[in-house]
Amino acid sequence: MDTVLQIENVYWSRNQELILQNMNWHVNNGDHWAVLGLNGSGKTTLLNMVMGYIWPTSGQISVLGHTYGKVDIQQVRQSIGWVSSSFQEKIRPYERVQDIIVSGKYASIGLYEEPSTDDIEEANEWLEQFHLTQLQNETYQTCSQGEKQKILIARALMAHPKLLILDEPTTGLDFVSREQLLDSIARISKQKEAPTIIFVTHHIEEIIPIFNKSLLIKDGTVFKSGNTSELLTSETLTDFFGITVEVDRYSKRMSLKKTY
Ligand SMILES: Nc1ncnc2c1ncn2[C@@H]1O[C@H](COP(=O)(O)OP(=O)(O)OP(=O)(O)O)[C@@H](O)[C@H]1O
């Protein structure tokens, strides 16, 4: 299937206020998207809609060929991996790291059934991929913020999602942990049957080369979208942020600075 996500003319209002308006976004299989937008621009609201947690006031959403309103959302959700800081709070602090990862297979918080040997083996493979093997018997509460984020991504991957949504996964990470996490995301993207990745960030330097597409959200609508290399220019981002900025490119990464 070529289309992973289709958002068409989506509006969402709350208390007579338009939060999202005329949103259009098409995500194809094989692309990975970075989503940028200032605080309150509507990113989380949009992703909550993709997860089916909230419903558009008008417009249409299709995920993996299923049009919302005509499909069992629970079933679609099984194909979406979702990692956000709000999810982190739901994990029980005393849960074993290996169990948290295995539980991703069952889309449950906590393990309620005896995992199979295959499940444990797969969880161990993810632990290895994320360089977390030494933590497998530790509890979640003892892990650092960077380790927690990697654990949650590994957990999401246990369900073999077709779409992986990472909502600001680098929040609270130091420079080294952030780079390790970005390396892990790059590795995932290169795997066989890798999911389509949507990565929400506030930091342009985190838009690693795997994110070939970018979506700029401003004031509850799409400001611009397209190929990252063409879209993220000093001119466009100056318009987007409303302050004069300059994009520097170096070894396939970018940085942003305010100019005067
Ligand atoms: N349930 C709700 N009821 C009313 N207003 C809401 C609701 N959810 C979100 N909003 C408003 O919608 C706007 C967009 O919020 P949203 O959380 O989607 O922004 P965001 O781009 O994810 O921001 P951030 O980068 O700070 O996480 C904000 O003004 C917020 O206050």
CB 39 less than 6 A from any atom of ligand 1: yes
The widest CA-to-CA distance across the chain, in whole angstroms, is: 61
Residues 166 and 135 in one domain: no
Among the candidates 160, 191, 219, a domain finishes at 160
Quick check: 246 pLDDT over 60?
A: yes
Taking the centre of ligand 1 as the mean of its atom positions, its distance from the CA of residue 43, in whole angstroms, is 8
CB 148 less than 6 A from any atom of ligand 1: no
Residues 139 and 173 in one domain: no
Quick check: 98 pLDDT over 80?
A: yes
CB atoms within 10 A of CB 29: 14
CB 19 less than 6 A from any atom of ligand 1: yes
| Cβ atoms of 123 and 98 closer than 8 Å | yes
- The per-residue pLDDT for range 66-92, each reduced to its tens digit, is 999 889 998 898 899 999 877 778 899
pLDDT of 106: 74
Residues 236 and 110 in one domain: no
Taking the centre of ligand 1 as the mean of its atom positions, its distance from the CA of residue 4, in whole angstroms, is 24
| Cβ atoms of 151 and 143 closer than 8 Å | yes
Q: How far apart are CA 140 and CA 131, in angstroms?
A: 16
- The per-residue pLDDT for range 157-167, each reduced to its tens digit, is 999 999 999 99
Residue with CA nearest ligand 1 atom 9: 45
pLDDT category, 9, cuts 50, 70, 90? very high
Taking the centre of ligand 1 as the mean of its atom positions, its distance from the CA of residue 167, in whole angstroms, is 13
Among the candidates 145, 160, 175, a domain finishes at 160
Residues 189 and 259 in one domain: yes
Residues 103 and 147 in one domain: yes
pLDDT of 112: 62
CB atoms within 10 A of CB 146: 19
pLDDT of 47: 94
CB 23 less than 6 A from any atom of ligand 1: no
Quick check: 113 pLDDT over 80?
A: no
Residues 110 and 239 in one domain: no
Residues 24 and 100 in one domain: no
**Total domains, the chain:** 2
DSSP string of the chain, one letter each residue: --EEEEEEEEEEEETTEEEEEEEEEEEETT--EEEEE-TTSSHHHHHHHHTTSS--SEEEEEETTEETTSS-HHHHHTTEEEEEHHHHTTS-TT-BHHHHHHHGGGT-SS--SPPPHHHHHHHHHHHHHTT-GGGTTSBGGGS-HHHHHHHHHHHHHTT--SEEEEESTTTT--HHHHHHHHHHHHHHHTSTTPPEEEEEES-GGG--TT--EEEEEETTEEEEEEEHHHH--HHHHHHHHSS-EEEEEETTEEEEEE--
Quick check: 8 pLDDT over 90?
A: yes
Taking the centre of ligand 1 as the mean of its atom positions, its distance from the CA of residue 185, in whole angstroms, is 26
- The per-residue pLDDT for range 15-70, each reduced to its tens digit, is 989 999 999 999 999 999 999 999 999 999 999 999 999 999 999 999 999 999 88
Report how far apart the first and last C-alpha atoms of the chain are (Å, whole number): 47
Query: Ligand 1 test: best mutation among 10, 43, 51, 54, most atoms within 8 Å of CB?
Result: 43
| Cβ atoms of 198 and 27 closer than 8 Å | yes
Q: How far apart are CA 260 and CA 162, in angstroms?
A: 44
Q: How far apart are CA 70 and CA 152, in angstroms?
A: 30
Q: What is the mean pLDDT of residues 208-233?
A: 97
Taking the centre of ligand 1 as the mean of its atom positions, its distance from the CA of residue 219, in whole angstroms, is 10
Residues 167 and 74 in one domain: yes
CB 40 less than 6 A from any atom of ligand 1: yes
* ipTM higher than threshold 0.85: yes
Residues 92 and 221 in one domain: no
Residues 169 and 90 in one domain: no
| CATH number for the domain harbouring residue 66 | 3.40.50.300
* pTM of the predicted model over 0.90: yes
Among the candidates 160, 189, 213, a domain finishes at 160
> What atom in ligand 1 is closest to the CA of residue 15?
4
| Cβ atoms of 56 and 30 closer than 8 Å | no
Residue 46 or residue 109, greater confidence:
46
Quick check: 200 pLDDT over 70?
A: yes
Query: Ligand 1 test: best mutation among 41, 221, 241, most atoms within 8 Å of CB?
Result: 41
Residues 71 and 105 in one domain: no
Residues 171 and 259 in one domain: yes
Q: How far apart are CA 187 and CA 177, in angstroms?
A: 15
Taking the centre of ligand 1 as the mean of its atom positions, its distance from the CA of residue 16, in whole angstroms, is 14
Quick check: 177 pLDDT over 80?
A: yes
pLDDT of 109: 58
Taking the centre of ligand 1 as the mean of its atom positions, its distance from the CA of residue 152, in whole angstroms, is 23
In which domain, by residue range, is 53 found? Answer: 1-79+161-260
